[in-house]
Each structure stands twice: as structure tokens, then as C-alpha cells.
């Protein structure tokens, strides 16, 4: 049975999945699509969130961290999540930091999108942008290697390009090391451009 990754729009969490599928050579084993409707998505994931990966037995896996671990296992393991303990938890920690940056950036976007009739609450936006800034500062000090690729590098690349796309935070002047890192990431992994977000 072919697996199916469900996603919607330019989701950076979905992009983590689509790029990992390509990077791991799983494109012939995993189809990519959208949920049929909200009811069917809720049956697969009671949280009604994507991405969701429907595996061989019909079970839906979520969220993106779980999906990437499954994809790594499907490809034989030790590909984007190292087996060695120190490297494994360094990669998972980087991935968690990147996800935290993304979650804060998304909340900045949602403040305008889901409260269009209200003036954006600046203290809330500053609080979220502070998370983005501190997370990027930490990752700028010791960014994950672009190769060998891990879930930490995938997460950081998706976060940086999503912030470029939605412009929640002007990170480039402040973090030239991350600009250089992202340029290097794209050079080493040209397939990453195939999943670039667009409306």
C-alpha cells in the first residue's frame, strides 16, 4: 500500500515532510495530497491538523516530528535521526527549537488572520517575536550541520524560509551566520527549493 501525506497550503510543518520524503528517496512510496474535507480529517486526527501521514494499516500519524521519525524508520533508520545517543538528542533538540520558532511565527500570522476585526495586540506579538529572536540567536551560535542532514537542519531551513515567506520577523540583518547557513543548505540540498512555500 502507498502511504499518503496530507497537508494544506504552504505549511512549514508539511514542508518538513515533503522534503524528507524526497531526501530519503521515498517519493515512490508516499503520495502527497490534501484532506478530502474537515470531517474526514477529524476522523484521522481529532485535532484536525495537518500534516498527517496515513500509513499501511490506515492509521494516521501526526505531528511532523512523529512523521519524520516514521519516514526515517521507513528508509532504514539513521538517515535524518541519528542512532548514536549524543547525536540523536542533539538533532532532536535542534528540531524542537526549530519547531518552537515556527510555532511562535505562526502565532504572529494567526493574530492578524483570525482576528481581522480587531487591532493586533502588540504585547502578544512582541512576546512571540521574542521567542523567534531568542530561538534564532541560539541556533545561530551552533547551527546544525547541513550535511549529514538531520531533523534539526530540516526544521531550521523550513523555519527560516517560512519567516522569509510570511515576514513575521526580519531575521536576516541580525543573523548573518544563519543567512550563510541557509545558502549553504540550499546549495547542498537543491531539492529543497522544490518545496518552497507559495500562496
Domain parsing of the chain, residue ranges: 3-74, 85-195
pLDDT for 47 equals 93
Question: If pLDDT is split at 50, 70 and 90, which confidence band does 1 have?
Answer: low
pLDDT digits (tens, 9 = 90+) for 78-121: 999 999 999 999 999 999 999 999 999 999 998 877 677 778 78
pLDDT for 87 equals 97
The fold of 3-74 is Glutaredoxin (3.40.30)
pLDDT for 60 equals 96
Domain 85-195, classified CATH 1.10.10.10, yes or no: no
Distances (CA, A) of 72 to 23, 78, 137: 10, 7, 28
When the pLDDT of each residue in the chain is averaged and rounded to a whole number, the result is 95
pLDDT for 199 equals 73
Please tell me if the domain spanning 3-74 has the same topology as the one spanning 85-195.
no
Q: How many CB atoms sit inside 10 A of residue 31's CB? A: 13
pTM above 0.75, yes or no: yes
Question: If pLDDT is split at 50, 70 and 90, which confidence band does 6 have?
Answer: very high
Is a pLDDT exceeding 70 seen at residue 28? Answer: yes
pLDDT digits (tens, 9 = 90+) for 155-169: 999 999 999 999 999
Q: Quote the CA–CA distance of 57 and 169 in Å, as a whole number.
A: 41
Amino acid at each position: 500500500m502507498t502511504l499518503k501525506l496530507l497537508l494544506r497550503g504552504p505549511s512549514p510543518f508539511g514542508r518538513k515532510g515533503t522534503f524528507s520524503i524526497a531526501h530519503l528517496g521515498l517519493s515512490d512510496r508516499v503520495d502527497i495530497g490534501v484532506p478530502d474535507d474537515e470531517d474526514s480529517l477529524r476522523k484521522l486526527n481529532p485535532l484536525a491538523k495537518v500534516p498527517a501521514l496515513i500509513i499501511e494499516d490506515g492509521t494516521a500519524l501526526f505531528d511532523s516530528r512523529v512523521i519524520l521519525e516514521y519516514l526515517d524508520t521507513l528508509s532504514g533508520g539513521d538517515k535524518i535521526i541519528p542512532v548514536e545517543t549524543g547525536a540523536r538528542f542533539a538533532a532532536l533538540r535542534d528540531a524542537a527549537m526549530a519547531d518552537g520558532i515556527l510555532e511562535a511565527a505562526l502565532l504572529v500570522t494567526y493574530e492578524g488572520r483570525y482576528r481581522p476585526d480587531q487591532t493586533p495586540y502588540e504585547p502578544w506579538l512582541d512576546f512571540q517575536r521574542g521567542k523567534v529572536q531568542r530561538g534564532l540567536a541560539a541556533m545561530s551560535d551552533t547551527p546544525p550541520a547541513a550535511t549529514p542532514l538531520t531533523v534539526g537542519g530540516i526544521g531550521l531551513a523550513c523555519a527560516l524560509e517560512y519567516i522569509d515567506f510570511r515576514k513575521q520577523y526580519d531575521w536576516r540583518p541580525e543573523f548573518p551566520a544563519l543567512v550563510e547557513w541557509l545558502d549553504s543548505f540550499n546549495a547542498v540540498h537543491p531539492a529543497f527549493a522544490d518545496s518552497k512555500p507559495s500562496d
